[in-house]
Chains A and B, each alone.
Chain A
């Protein structure tokens, strides 16, 4: 399932997916970057100036957490029902179901990368630009690990959703809980030591951490374990989804 006869099929599906998403809107692709950038500005003002979070270069910290989180949340919301929504087409002729989930995740990943580029530019102009440095070269690797991990998770849940249609609704409220259990707005140090494990073992913390390190920089010995953990988790999630597909393939078409 995870091989493609033609990558251009995936490319076209992703392109048309993006086109369909903003069809009928006046601002079109502008929403792709406007949404997260506005969210970033609002959260930045609230946490910095209203809640008085004392932290050096807080906009960069927020950028490294909020944009990957938005990518994850959007991929989950759009990707989990992707297979059951494509039911008629998947039963009409033989198509690799992977492309439907991967195109949704890729669509959101491209939006994430575009919004990230614009936000980085904005932060460089408006805030403490000295905090952004050479460590940004690690961003592509961090973004690819994030893409792989989120694709593995969404693919697994999209398959699971074919057998239990509640999954998409459960994901919705788990997202709300997970948002507070992931250090998107606050640093891990703010969590009491007794509860820190709940945040540190949270898969989203593990996947977001390399992105944040590539934005914020890091001290010696921090980056390697973070990237290693994200790599292991992404590989694990990809394997899990592949195994699940292999095991339930016949039933998948039966229950679709």
Chain B
């Protein structure tokens, strides 16, 4: 994908740009499209699509052992950057190159089929998260996760009866079961209850350290300081700093101060 990609890099993001093309005040119902087309046919036909730039010229690399914390205010493009790296978004400009496997987690309360039990959903989620795992290894992973979740007999009740916290326990237990070549965690820390939080925090730290490289997004500075050996600041879609965690927080505060 990229000629400058070197073998000791796990991730290379080169001049990444991401833009969405959409019509302003876009209707999401066909009825509205129809009414507006009748009201003003020329406008409906000729109204140009506007391009909204989310990311601009983002460039950085991750090498084995790098654990990068991504700092930035809401709406600056952190999740979009993570999704573009995970392969969900196609870059409008530049490129993303990953060597090895990549696992990304953006939500910790998702289930698959609410009619099925927690145990059955765990089996299905494990298959979706770890598609390359062989059957015996998969069975032991699921067993380990179910025990770790501490949900006991509640695992045999339908997922639709689970509280948000219970869903988080199940999902986080599965998502942190194995390290990855590149691990992307986008604000996964705060969804579990306080008793489970300490337990999952240790497991998260361990899976982050065992992964080839990690990219973390969190608004909690203690989590970033504890997990990361490097941090970058994203501001208005641009990477304005990449360096030590302490320096990154100073730049982050400065950028916020300027905004205020």
Contacts and interface: CB of A to CB of B under 8 A. Distances in A.
Contact of A164 (B29, B90, B132): B29
Interface string B79-91: 0000100111110
Interface in A81-128: 86, 88-89, 91-95
B113 A16 contact: yes
Contacts of A202: none
Given A164-B30, A250-B18, A9 B120 contact: no
B105 A249 contact: no
A6 B131 contact: yes
Contact of B116 (A23, A163, A254): A23
A250 B86 CA distance: 13
B89 A249 contact: yes
Contact of A94 (B29, B86, B112, B175): B86
Interface residues of B, number: 41
Nearest to B129: A93
B20 A254 contact: yes
Q: Which of A16, A23, A92 has the most CB of B within 10 A?
A: A92
Contacts of B171: 92
Contact of B127 (A9, A23, A91, A165): A9
B38 to A, nearest CB: 16
A93 B115 contact: no
B49 to A, nearest CB: 10
Question: Which 6 pairs of residues, A with B, have the shortest CB-CB distance?
Answer: A92-B107, A6-B131, A92-B110, A166-B30, A20-B115, A20-B113
Given A93-B106, A94-B104, A253-B89, 15 more contacts: A9-B127, A16-B123, A16-B124, A19-B116, A23-B115, A23-B116, A88-B107, A88-B110, A88-B111, A89-B110, A89-B111, A250-B18, A250-B20, A251-B21, A255-B28
Interface of B: 18, 20-22, 28-31, 33, 83, 86-90, 92, 102-113, 115-116, 120, 123-124, 127-129, 131-132, 158, 171, 175
